[in-house]
Amino acid sequence: MEENRVEWLPHLTSEVVADARGPEFDAYLVALEGWRRGLTLKWHVKNKEKFSEMKTWFVDKPGKLFSLSSKDKTHYFFRTRGDKVSNEAVEIGADKEQTKIYLTQTKVRTPEGKRFFPSSQNNEEIFKYASKIGYPIVLKPTDGSFGRGVITNIGNEEELINALNYLCSDLNYTDVIVERFIPGKEYRIYVIDEQVVAAIHRIPANVLGDGFNTIQTLIEMKNEERKRNPRLISCLIKVNNELKEFLSKAGYHLESVPEKNERIFLTDKSNISIGGDPVDVLDILPEEIKNTAIRAIKAIPGLNHGAVDLIIEEDKPVEQAGVVLEINPTAQIGSLLFPMKGKARDVPAAIIDFYFPETKEMVTEKERIYFDFNDVLEPLLTKTASTTMVSAAPVGKIYAKKYTVSGDVQGIDYHRGLRKQAFERKLSGYVTNLENGDIDIVVLGTDENNVNDFKNAITGDPERSDVRGIRETDWTEPVKVGFEVKVDLKLQIEQLKHMKQEMDALQKELRQVERQYKKYYNSLSWQLMTPFRKIADLVKYFRRLAGK
């Protein structure tokens, strides 16, 4: 496994972002930053408030739409895009042909290309255009994303026919772009308010040989590494027919054993979502390339911030080398915060700076607090609410302690009493059982006296506990807002086993009762007594009438 030197942000640890995955990941990162600065954070269901006017998609599941408010203003966000970005900009960014038109008008380099509507009968126009711009070419859907349907480095008409058949017949696309293939390295650059705040080199999915393991095993090892990255855990390398065919063309198969330090590429697509490696390059990216990205964002009306995907073309002077492939107004930013190599760049902070500049200088210890994402979304997921507000974040100097308590202290009622004491003191934290019979209690708050006084709460419930010792230490790790009574895994398993045993016993008893009932119902005595039961029912009926 190769060495990857990486530096992530101290206030965005794996623990802090563990609850957010997939499409909700980026929204959580931006929302968390605003909330930590003291802004009021609300999560919304689709079409609520201003969201009915914003371009959004795939928002049936909550977790992508939120608002942040200060005393005098509110801004609405769909994932990483706020309401300062116009709907027109979103529509242009989604249409690759329109994007090309705007870029070309402002003299920003973009691959020469044209839109076509292929058919199964006649694609002669496509073949003529491909010959005109010259092979190799790229074929991709006009409105595609995540690298789906993109076929690069098509070398001749036969390969183009196969690519068209794949896009139109297998993937059912009817609207495509044919463009000139540009050789070079691909980058994602994030621009906010005419400033480049982050940039990564996107390297296509690959493995590094060690001289011993097969490509299949190296992929599994690489995926284990990716699982330790909060962004890449949802972007594993998938072994499919496309990957196998790519390897075959290069003379390899899954059981091949690459030489030591031999890099084997598994695709020519650089998308992070399909296994690409994000490598931070902000500090070494030429200014000329940064300026190209800034000009690209400015070329789109109403676009104040977003991502630019570009290629630095090989064998070109740097001032001419930047070629813009796409512009994304609703870009994923996880790979900019969690690269495989290099420094993380605080894009959420830059976004909040842009929308709420008055919070730039706010002093917070933001690395020490976060909120429970799942708990916050629960009312929206269960449809018991259309908006949910996150409890305010503590702002200012934060104090935290860990108390390790020994004795007879693992009773659940005692722990619930500790939670009540924490709420009364406006403290956050948790209590959890240890295997040796002790418990750990962590408390955090902005009032130092309340944090220190919690030691009295620990010994203040002798009816439900027997405290024999307390060890106190300072606590610097992140803490969720609120107070959680954590049940250890061993106890949870025992409780589940007990519940299952009770359920099995009840089901067995129910089956026995059903058998007895059927047996009695079918018996002769039951059938003989039927007339008498009917007479008894009539008597009861007339008595009720007489009593009225």
Distance from C-alpha of 181 to C-alpha of 178, rounded to nearest angstrom = 9
Distance from C-alpha of 497 to C-alpha of 503, rounded to nearest angstrom = 10
User: Per residue in 4-17, pLDDT tens?
Assistant: 688 999 899 888 99
Distance from C-alpha of 95 to C-alpha of 83, rounded to nearest angstrom = 20
Q: What pLDDT does 447 receive?
A: 92
Helices (H), 440-529: 448-458, 489-521, 524-528
User: Per residue in 378-412, pLDDT tens?
Assistant: 999 999 999 999 988 887 789 999 999 999 999 99
Distance from C-alpha of 70 to C-alpha of 317, rounded to nearest angstrom = 47
> Residue 52 carries which DSSP code?
G
Tokens standing for residue 219: 């992929």
Tokens standing for residue 427: 């403290």
Distance from C-alpha of 202 to C-alpha of 326, rounded to nearest angstrom = 14
- Amino acid at residue number 374: N
Least confident of 54-68, 120-134, 323-337, 370-384: 120-134
Distance from C-alpha of 5 to C-alpha of 393, rounded to nearest angstrom = 33
Predicted TM-score (pTM) of this structure: 0.83
Q: What pLDDT does 507 receive?
A: 79
Distance from C-alpha of 521 to C-alpha of 533, rounded to nearest angstrom = 13
User: Per residue in 315-339, pLDDT tens?
Assistant: 888 988 999 999 999 999 999 999 9
Q: What are phi and psi of 420, to 5 degrees?
A: -60, -40
The three-class DSSP label of residue 11 is coil
Q: What pLDDT does 514 receive?
A: 74
Highest mean pLDDT among 197-201, 391-395, 474-478: 197-201
- Strand ranges in 40-157 using DSSP code E only, listed in sequence order: 40-44, 65-69, 74-78, 81-82, 113-116, 137-141, 151-154
> Residue 139 carries which DSSP code?
E
Fold of 399-487: Alpha-Beta Plaits (3.30.70)
Distance from C-alpha of 160 to C-alpha of 148, rounded to nearest angstrom = 17
Q: What pLDDT does 205 receive?
A: 96
Q: Is the pLDDT of residue 417 over 90?
A: yes
Q: Averaged over 106-128, what is the pLDDT? A: 86
Q: At which residue do the structure tokens 């690209």 appear?
A: 296
Q: What are phi and psi of 78, to 5 degrees?
A: -110, 105
Distance from C-alpha of 155 to C-alpha of 130, rounded to nearest angstrom = 10
Give Cβ neighbours of residue 414 (< 8 Å, ≥ 6 apart): 461, 464, 465
Q: Averaged over 345-371, what is the pLDDT? A: 89
Number of other CB atoms surrounding residue 484 within 10 Å? 18
Q: Averaged over 83-90, what is the pLDDT? A: 96
Q: What pLDDT does 521 receive?
A: 60
DSSP 227-246: HTSTTGGGS-----HHHHHH
User: Per residue in 244-272, pLDDT tens?
Assistant: 999 999 999 999 999 999 999 999 899 99
Q: What pLDDT does 489 receive?
A: 47
Answer whether CATH 3.30.1490.20 is correct for domain 112-181. yes
Q: Is the pLDDT of residue 516 over 90?
A: no
Supply angle C-alpha 419, 411, 492, rounded to 5. 95
